[in-house]
Amino acid sequence: MRICGGDDDIATVQFSDEKVQDILIRITGMDLQKIFRPVKEELKPPTYKLMTDQQLGEARQKAIEEAKLKLKMPPVLPERKPINDILSQDKFLAGMETAKYVFTDITFQTPHRERFVVVREPDGTLRKASWEERERMIQVYFPKPGRKLTPSPIFQEGNLKVVYQQDRHEDLLDLCIAQFEPDSSEYHKVHRLAYEDIDKRAKYELLRSSRHFGSLVWHLVMVRRVDGLLVDMLQRELINEAVSLVTLFHMVHPRSESAKEAGRLEAKGVELLKVYASTESQRGGYIELALQAHQQMLQENAL
């Protein structure tokens, strides 16, 4: 993830910190209707159950537990560095073969990250396999369901645009998680393009109650383009979540102007939003208008 501003230290706050995860889980929301919407499966006749109110409450609790499992966020890891390890160079073997030999270790208990995958080139060098070769070999000998040997053509640039036009970002990101490792460059590229498209067309609602929302928010905070999301939250009257978003922003960029202002004024709640609107954001006017409209509505409701 590239950041333009050089005066903030981002390395201190990671995606996997507890506070960050709490904020992201709160912002993701839990729309049960959307999470458990009908997935295309075999047609089964619906089952009806007769329940008391108490049983209904318990069933709802169970649904919430299951929803929490479904909303588990995939990890955000830095991009992996290419493997360039040569184990031995035997020049006198050159010319013996025309094809490479790829040796994979199929011990069942070793984790895939620690597996030995080694290539003997036709010119005699014995080297560790690159990440792509590793993934291909591990998929051959230990196939993972949902993953293909060659990635499906949906991940090519032209086809991605078609998917975005059809508003199927969530399905695309689910496919991407199944196909690629979280620290590979293709995974990062697909996610970045999807998030940028959503940000450009302000379609945050598509990912709102899904497991990708946390990574979307993290990406926007790292690239400092939180304004669209803030505006969207204010339009949907999600003030608490907007406040958590701004606190997250201050946690990740502690030396930005708005963070310093907020620290000085010790602002809490709606005042944080006003501080952010006045200092850091590009659409500050819109945010302030939305805040005023919200406060007027509160007063009207109180009356």
Partner 1 sequence: MVHLSSALLRRYHGGLVIIRLALGGCTNRPFYRIVAAFNKRARDSKYIEQLGTYDPLPNIYNEKLVSFNYDRIKYWIGCGAHTTKPVAKLLGLAGFFPLHPMTVTAAERLRKLAAQKEQEASGSGTEEGQGKEEQRQEA
Please report, as ranges, the residues that interact with partner 1 according to CB under 8 A: 87-88, 90, 92-96, 98-109, 116, 118-120, 126, 133, 136-137, 140-141
Report the nearest approach of partner 1 to the CB of residue 114 (Å). Answer: 12
Q: Which is nearer to partner 1, 84 or 301 (CB)?
A: 84
Report the nearest approach of partner 1 to the CB of residue 157 (Å). Answer: 23
Q: Which is nearer to partner 1, 94 or 202 (CB)?
A: 94
CA–chain centroid gap for 165, Å, is 20
CB 220 within 8 A of CB 197: no
Report the nearest approach of partner 1 to the CB of residue 136 (Å). Answer: 8
Q: Which is nearer to partner 1, 133 or 197 (CB)?
A: 133
Report the nearest approach of partner 1 to the CB of residue 83 (Å). Answer: 16
Beta bridge partners of 126: 88, 120
CB 248 within 8 A of CB 17: no
Q: Which is nearer to partner 1, 109 or 301 (CB)?
A: 109
Q: Can you give 110-141 as a three-state secondary structure string?
A: CCHHHCCEEEECCCCEEEECCHHHHHHHHHHH
- Nearest residue to 262 via CA among 247, 281, 240, 284: 247
β-pair type (117-120, 125-128): antiparallel
Q: Which is nearer to partner 1, 149 or 162 (CB)?
A: 149
Structure tokens at 243: 């406040």
Structure tokens at 80: 């992996």
Other residues' Cβ atoms within 10 Å of the Cβ of residue 39: 5
Report the nearest approach of partner 1 to the CB of residue 175 (Å). Answer: 23
CA–chain centroid gap for 97, Å, is 45
Q: Which is nearer to partner 1, 137 or 217 (CB)?
A: 137
Q: Which is nearer to partner 1, 23 or 138 (CB)?
A: 138
Apex 130 CA angle, 129 and 133, nearest 5: 75
Q: Which is nearer to partner 1, 88 or 282 (CB)?
A: 88
Report the nearest approach of partner 1 to the CB of residue 254 (Å). Answer: 48
Report the nearest approach of partner 1 to the CB of residue 284 (Å). Answer: 54
Alpha-helical runs (H) found in 142-283: 157-165, 169-179, 185-201, 213-223, 227-235, 239-252, 257-265, 270-279
Q: Distance of CA 128 to CAs 90, 125, 131, 180, Å?
A: 15, 10, 9, 20
- Nearest residue to 79 via CA among 4, 178, 185, 181: 185
Residue the block writes with tokens 């409701």: 301
Report the nearest approach of partner 1 to the CB of residue 108 (Å). Answer: 8
